[in-house]
Amino acid sequence: MKDTRGILELNKNSWEKAAERFFGRTALPEYGPLAPTENELQLLGNIYEQKVLDIGCGSGHSLQYMGDSGAKELWGIDFTKKQIETAKILLQHQKVDVQLFESPMEQNPGIPDNYFDIIYSIYALGWTVNLKQTLENIYRYLKRGGTFVFSWEHPMHDRIFYNEEVGYILNKSYNIEGPELNEAWHQEVVIYHRKLSTYINTLIETGFTIEKVIDDVALPNDHTPTQPNKWYSTEKAQLIPATFIIKASKK
Protein backbone atom coordinates (compact mmCIF):
# COMPACT_ATOMS: atom_id res chain seq x y z
CA MET A 1 0.00 0.00 0.00
CA LYS A 2 1.25 3.50 -0.87
CA ASP A 3 2.21 6.09 1.76
CA THR A 4 -0.17 8.99 2.44
CA ARG A 5 1.45 11.20 -0.21
CA GLY A 6 1.07 8.44 -2.79
CA ILE A 7 -2.55 7.83 -1.77
CA LEU A 8 -3.37 11.52 -2.17
CA GLU A 9 -1.79 11.54 -5.63
CA LEU A 10 -3.65 8.36 -6.67
CA ASN A 11 -6.99 9.66 -5.41
CA LYS A 12 -6.53 13.10 -6.98
CA ASN A 13 -5.74 11.58 -10.38
CA SER A 14 -8.78 9.30 -10.17
CA TRP A 15 -11.03 12.19 -9.15
CA GLU A 16 -9.79 14.39 -11.99
CA LYS A 17 -10.85 11.64 -14.42
CA ALA A 18 -14.21 10.90 -12.77
CA ALA A 19 -15.25 14.33 -11.48
CA GLU A 20 -17.90 15.05 -14.08
CA ARG A 21 -20.11 12.11 -13.09
CA PHE A 22 -20.29 13.49 -9.55
CA PHE A 23 -21.21 17.10 -10.42
CA GLY A 24 -24.23 18.07 -8.33
CA ARG A 25 -24.54 14.71 -6.61
CA THR A 26 -24.83 14.35 -2.81
CA ALA A 27 -25.06 18.07 -2.13
CA LEU A 28 -27.03 20.06 0.44
CA PRO A 29 -29.80 19.82 1.40
CA GLU A 30 -28.93 16.12 0.95
CA TYR A 31 -26.45 14.59 3.40
CA GLY A 32 -26.00 11.29 1.61
CA PRO A 33 -27.68 8.26 0.09
CA LEU A 34 -30.86 7.09 1.84
CA ALA A 35 -30.39 9.57 4.69
CA PRO A 36 -32.58 12.37 6.07
CA THR A 37 -31.94 15.81 4.60
CA GLU A 38 -31.10 19.21 6.09
CA ASN A 39 -34.71 20.21 5.43
CA GLU A 40 -35.74 17.57 7.97
CA LEU A 41 -32.82 17.75 10.40
CA GLN A 42 -32.07 21.51 10.56
CA LEU A 43 -28.51 20.84 11.81
CA LEU A 44 -26.91 23.96 10.33
CA GLY A 45 -29.16 26.39 12.17
CA ASN A 46 -29.47 29.96 10.94
CA ILE A 47 -27.45 30.35 7.71
CA TYR A 48 -28.33 33.99 7.02
CA GLU A 49 -25.31 36.32 7.20
CA GLN A 50 -23.04 33.47 8.29
CA LYS A 51 -19.50 32.84 7.03
CA VAL A 52 -19.34 29.23 5.83
CA LEU A 53 -16.61 26.82 4.72
CA ASP A 54 -17.16 23.64 2.71
CA ILE A 55 -14.55 20.88 3.21
CA GLY A 56 -14.44 18.91 -0.04
CA CYS A 57 -16.67 21.36 -1.88
CA GLY A 58 -16.69 19.42 -5.14
CA SER A 59 -18.68 21.12 -7.89
CA GLY A 60 -19.94 23.82 -5.51
CA HIS A 61 -23.60 22.80 -5.31
CA SER A 62 -23.65 22.74 -1.49
CA LEU A 63 -22.10 26.21 -1.46
CA GLN A 64 -24.78 27.31 -3.91
CA TYR A 65 -27.40 26.06 -1.43
CA MET A 66 -25.72 28.02 1.37
CA GLY A 67 -25.54 31.16 -0.77
CA ASP A 68 -29.20 30.86 -1.75
CA SER A 69 -29.98 30.49 1.98
CA GLY A 70 -28.38 33.86 2.73
CA ALA A 71 -24.81 33.03 3.78
CA LYS A 72 -22.53 36.09 3.97
CA GLU A 73 -19.32 34.48 2.66
CA LEU A 74 -18.78 31.21 0.76
CA TRP A 75 -15.45 29.41 1.13
CA GLY A 76 -14.54 25.98 -0.19
CA ILE A 77 -11.60 23.61 -0.45
CA ASP A 78 -11.21 20.61 -2.77
CA PHE A 79 -8.14 18.78 -4.05
CA THR A 80 -9.30 18.44 -7.65
CA LYS A 81 -8.72 21.17 -10.21
CA LYS A 82 -11.73 20.14 -12.30
CA GLN A 83 -14.09 20.38 -9.31
CA ILE A 84 -12.80 23.82 -8.29
CA GLU A 85 -13.07 25.14 -11.86
CA THR A 86 -16.66 23.88 -12.05
CA ALA A 87 -17.51 25.41 -8.66
CA LYS A 88 -16.14 28.80 -9.77
CA ILE A 89 -18.45 28.79 -12.79
CA LEU A 90 -21.46 27.64 -10.76
CA LEU A 91 -20.95 30.28 -8.06
CA GLN A 92 -19.99 33.24 -10.25
CA HIS A 93 -23.46 34.78 -9.94
CA GLN A 94 -23.59 34.64 -6.15
CA LYS A 95 -23.78 38.18 -4.75
CA VAL A 96 -21.39 37.45 -1.87
CA ASP A 97 -17.65 36.88 -1.47
CA VAL A 98 -16.56 33.45 -2.79
CA GLN A 99 -13.13 31.97 -1.98
CA LEU A 100 -12.17 28.56 -3.42
CA PHE A 101 -8.93 26.65 -2.88
CA GLU A 102 -7.49 23.68 -4.77
CA SER A 103 -5.77 21.81 -1.94
CA PRO A 104 -5.90 18.63 0.13
CA MET A 105 -7.95 19.10 3.29
CA GLU A 106 -4.93 18.01 5.34
CA GLN A 107 -3.18 21.27 4.37
CA ASN A 108 -4.13 24.91 4.95
CA PRO A 109 -3.88 26.81 1.64
CA GLY A 110 -4.63 30.17 3.26
CA ILE A 111 -7.85 29.69 5.21
CA PRO A 112 -8.11 32.02 8.26
CA ASP A 113 -8.30 30.79 11.86
CA ASN A 114 -11.25 31.46 14.19
CA TYR A 115 -13.25 32.87 11.28
CA PHE A 116 -16.20 30.68 10.29
CA ASP A 117 -19.65 30.39 11.81
CA ILE A 118 -20.43 27.13 10.00
CA ILE A 119 -18.12 24.50 8.54
CA TYR A 120 -19.53 21.41 6.89
CA SER A 121 -18.42 18.46 4.77
CA ILE A 122 -20.89 16.44 2.70
CA TYR A 123 -19.58 12.95 1.91
CA ALA A 124 -15.99 14.18 1.71
CA LEU A 125 -14.30 14.01 5.13
CA GLY A 126 -13.75 10.25 4.85
CA TRP A 127 -11.32 10.87 1.99
CA THR A 128 -8.75 12.35 4.35
CA VAL A 129 -5.53 10.40 4.79
CA ASN A 130 -4.98 12.06 8.19
CA LEU A 131 -8.21 12.47 10.14
CA LYS A 132 -6.58 14.08 13.20
CA GLN A 133 -4.77 16.72 11.12
CA THR A 134 -7.89 17.53 9.11
CA LEU A 135 -10.05 17.91 12.22
CA GLU A 136 -7.39 20.06 13.88
CA ASN A 137 -7.46 22.33 10.81
CA ILE A 138 -11.25 22.57 10.92
CA TYR A 139 -11.21 23.30 14.66
CA ARG A 140 -8.80 26.19 14.09
CA TYR A 141 -10.86 27.61 11.22
CA LEU A 142 -14.07 27.60 13.29
CA LYS A 143 -15.15 30.44 15.58
CA ARG A 144 -15.95 29.84 19.23
CA GLY A 145 -19.59 28.86 19.27
CA GLY A 146 -19.38 27.73 15.65
CA THR A 147 -20.97 24.61 14.18
CA PHE A 148 -19.33 21.75 12.30
CA VAL A 149 -21.51 19.19 10.50
CA PHE A 150 -20.28 16.34 8.32
CA SER A 151 -21.64 13.23 6.67
CA TRP A 152 -19.95 10.14 5.32
CA GLU A 153 -20.69 6.58 4.30
CA HIS A 154 -21.49 4.48 7.34
CA PRO A 155 -18.39 2.37 8.13
CA MET A 156 -20.48 -0.82 8.27
CA HIS A 157 -21.88 -0.25 4.79
CA ASP A 158 -18.96 -1.64 2.79
CA ARG A 159 -18.44 -4.53 5.20
CA ILE A 160 -21.63 -6.18 3.92
CA PHE A 161 -22.04 -7.50 0.38
CA TYR A 162 -24.81 -9.20 -1.56
CA ASN A 163 -24.41 -12.85 -2.53
CA GLU A 164 -27.05 -14.18 -4.94
CA GLU A 165 -27.14 -17.57 -3.22
CA VAL A 166 -27.41 -16.53 0.44
CA GLY A 167 -28.26 -12.81 0.44
CA TYR A 168 -26.28 -10.21 2.38
CA ILE A 169 -23.14 -11.41 4.11
CA LEU A 170 -20.47 -9.81 6.28
CA ASN A 171 -17.20 -10.39 4.43
CA LYS A 172 -14.88 -7.76 5.91
CA SER A 173 -13.86 -6.97 9.47
CA TYR A 174 -15.39 -3.82 10.92
CA ASN A 175 -12.63 -3.72 13.56
CA ILE A 176 -9.58 -3.60 11.27
CA GLU A 177 -8.89 0.00 10.30
CA GLY A 178 -6.61 1.41 7.64
CA PRO A 179 -6.29 2.22 3.92
CA GLU A 180 -8.15 -0.03 1.48
CA LEU A 181 -8.66 -0.16 -2.26
CA ASN A 182 -12.30 0.77 -2.77
CA GLU A 183 -14.55 -1.70 -4.60
CA ALA A 184 -17.11 0.95 -5.59
CA TRP A 185 -14.39 2.74 -7.56
CA HIS A 186 -13.16 -0.52 -9.11
CA GLN A 187 -9.88 -0.36 -7.14
CA GLU A 188 -8.97 3.08 -8.55
CA VAL A 189 -8.89 4.90 -5.19
CA VAL A 190 -7.77 4.21 -1.63
CA ILE A 191 -10.06 5.13 1.26
CA TYR A 192 -9.30 4.67 4.95
CA HIS A 193 -11.72 2.40 6.77
CA ARG A 194 -12.42 3.93 10.19
CA LYS A 195 -14.87 2.81 12.85
CA LEU A 196 -17.63 5.20 13.81
CA SER A 197 -16.06 5.45 17.26
CA THR A 198 -12.82 6.66 15.65
CA TYR A 199 -14.60 9.64 14.11
CA ILE A 200 -16.34 10.44 17.39
CA ASN A 201 -13.27 10.02 19.59
CA THR A 202 -11.02 12.02 17.25
CA LEU A 203 -13.53 14.87 17.27
CA ILE A 204 -13.48 14.83 21.08
CA GLU A 205 -9.67 14.62 21.23
CA THR A 206 -9.45 17.63 18.89
CA GLY A 207 -11.63 19.71 21.22
CA PHE A 208 -15.06 19.48 19.61
CA THR A 209 -18.26 18.96 21.58
CA ILE A 210 -20.50 16.33 20.01
CA GLU A 211 -24.05 17.64 19.61
CA LYS A 212 -25.71 14.86 17.65
CA VAL A 213 -24.94 11.57 15.86
CA ILE A 214 -27.45 10.44 13.24
CA ASP A 215 -27.55 7.16 11.34
CA ASP A 216 -31.26 7.08 10.52
CA VAL A 217 -32.39 5.63 7.21
CA ALA A 218 -34.76 7.51 4.90
CA LEU A 219 -36.32 5.16 2.37
CA PRO A 220 -38.18 6.41 -0.72
CA ASN A 221 -41.87 6.99 -0.08
CA ASP A 222 -42.85 4.33 -2.60
CA HIS A 223 -40.20 1.88 -1.26
CA THR A 224 -39.36 1.04 -4.85
CA PRO A 225 -37.09 -2.03 -4.87
CA THR A 226 -33.64 -1.56 -6.33
CA GLN A 227 -31.07 -4.05 -7.42
CA PRO A 228 -29.85 -5.63 -4.14
CA ASN A 229 -26.28 -5.78 -5.42
CA LYS A 230 -26.12 -2.03 -6.15
CA TRP A 231 -23.70 -0.11 -3.92
CA TYR A 232 -26.61 1.83 -2.38
CA SER A 233 -29.88 -0.11 -2.40
CA THR A 234 -33.13 0.17 -0.45
CA GLU A 235 -32.85 -3.53 0.42
CA LYS A 236 -29.45 -3.05 2.02
CA ALA A 237 -30.52 0.16 3.75
CA GLN A 238 -33.23 -1.77 5.56
CA LEU A 239 -30.43 -3.77 7.21
CA ILE A 240 -27.67 -1.19 7.72
CA PRO A 241 -27.52 2.61 7.29
CA ALA A 242 -25.77 3.90 4.18
CA THR A 243 -24.88 7.25 5.78
CA PHE A 244 -23.99 8.74 9.14
CA ILE A 245 -24.08 12.43 10.09
CA ILE A 246 -22.39 14.16 13.04
CA LYS A 247 -23.00 17.66 14.36
CA ALA A 248 -20.29 19.13 16.61
CA SER A 249 -19.46 22.55 17.99
CA LYS A 250 -16.49 24.57 19.22
CA LYS A 251 -17.27 25.87 22.70
Beta strands in the chain (DSSP E): 51-55, 73-78, 97-102, 116-122, 142-153, 160-163, 167-170, 178-181, 190-193, 209-214, 243-249
Averaged pLDDT, 172-200: 93
pLDDT band at 20 (very low <50, low <70, confident <90, very high): confident
Of 148, 118, 146, the C-alpha closest to 48 is: 118
Contacts of 45 (CB under 8 A, 6+ apart): 118, 147
161 assigned to some structural domain: no
Q: Phi, psi at residue 65, to the nearest 5°?
A: -60, -45
User: For position 47, which CATH number holds?
Assistant: 3.40.50.150
State mean pLDDT over 223-233.
81
Number of helices (H), then strands (E), in the chain? 7, 11
Q: Is residue 23 domain-resident?
A: yes
CA gap 109, 142 in Å, rounded:
15
85 assigned to some structural domain = yes
Helix axes 81-90, 61-68, angle to 10 degrees: 30
Residue 224 maps to a domain: no
* pLDDT band of 122, cuts 50, 70, 90: very high
User: Percent of the chain having pLDDT more than 90?
Assistant: 88
Residue 226, in any domain of the structure: no
Residue 77, beta-bridge partner list: 55, 101
Strand pairing category for 243-249 and 142-153: antiparallel
Compute the distance between CA of residue 76 and CA of residue 150 in angstroms, rounded to an integer.
14
In a domain, 73, yes or no: yes
- Residue-level pLDDT at 77: 98
What is the extent of the structural domain holding 32? Answer: 4-154+175-218+242-249
Average pLDDT, the chain: 95
Q: Is residue 187 predicted with pLDDT exceeding 70?
A: no
Predicted TM-score of the model (pTM): 0.95
pLDDT score at 149: 99
Number of domains in the chain: 1
Q: Break the chain down into helix, strand, coil percent, rounded to 5.
A: 30, 25, 45
Confidence band of 223 (pLDDT split at 50, 70, 90): low
Residue 23 confidence (pLDDT): 85
